[in-house]
Amino acid sequence: MQSNFKNPKKAAADPQETAIAVLGWLANEPDMFGRFLALTGVEAAQVRNAINQPAFLAGMLDFLMNHEPTLLAFCQASGIAPETVAAASAHFSPPGLSSGEY
């Protein structure tokens, strides 16, 4: 039986962990983090408290999902698969009209 232990692209079990990984990556990318803050209107001092709010996590994941080069840069740096980020984004985002879940 083959182990997935060494597979960096394995899916993260917890969407919260994926979101925290995204925030950690953004925090280490000053230009990207500044762009994220500017687009969302969130101040750097607010991030620590905002990480506990599902709407903030949804917005942060949407920021990543809406720009493929940024998404792929995060995935390459973290070893997290794009599908895992998409699943976390879907977890924190309310269903839209196109989802049929309204």
Quickly state the pLDDT bin for 73 (edges 50, 70, 90): very high
Evaluate whether 87 touches 34 at the Cβ level (below 8 Å).
no
In this prediction, residue 4 carries a pLDDT of 39
Alpha-carbon gap, residue 56 to 78, rounded angstroms: 21
Q: Tell whether the model's pLDDT for residue 2 goes beyond 80.
A: no
Q: Is 95 exposed, middle or buried (0-12, 13-18, 19+ CB in 10 A)?
A: exposed
Please give the model's pTM, rounded to 2 decimal places: 0.78
The most confident of 2-16, 44-58, 66-80, by mean pLDDT: 66-80
**6 token code pair:** 């060494």
In this prediction, residue 1 carries a pLDDT of 41
Evaluate whether 83 touches 11 at the Cβ level (below 8 Å).
yes
